[in-house]
């Protein structure tokens, strides 16, 4: 019976019908490994970029805090100077 199935062309017909229904792309193991390696490299590079952005953000935050601190210290010095001018007997 199997020989009959092979001889009457039904197998080729069946294969063609199966292929038309099967639209999932086929990849070789090598292609999958290459794509995995590429994605792993890309992921590592993105992790490095993320760490650099975090470090830059931390540095910018530290600079902003430092700048704000200097500004507040300058304002405090001005206030102390003004208080000293207004009330010379209460200088600290």
pTM for the full model? 0.48
d(CA 86, CA 80): 10
Q: Considering the chain, what is the average pLDDT of its residues?
A: 82
pLDDT digits (tens, 9 = 90+) for 56-71: 999 999 999 999 999 9
What domain count does the chain have? Answer: 1
Domain carrying residue 8: 2-90
Give the pLDDT score at 1. 43
């Amino acid at each position: 019976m199997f020989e009959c199935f092979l001889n009457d062309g039904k197998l080729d017909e069946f294969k063609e019908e199966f292929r038309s229904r099967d639209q999932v792309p086929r990849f070789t193991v090598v292609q999958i490994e290459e794509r995995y390696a590429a994605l792993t490299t890309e992921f590592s590079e993105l992790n490095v970029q993320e760490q650099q952005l975090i470090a830059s953000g931390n540095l910018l935050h530290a600079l902003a805090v430092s700048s704000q601190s200097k500004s507040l210290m300058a304002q405090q010095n001005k206030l102390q100077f003004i208080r000293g001018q207004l009330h010379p007997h209460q200088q600290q």
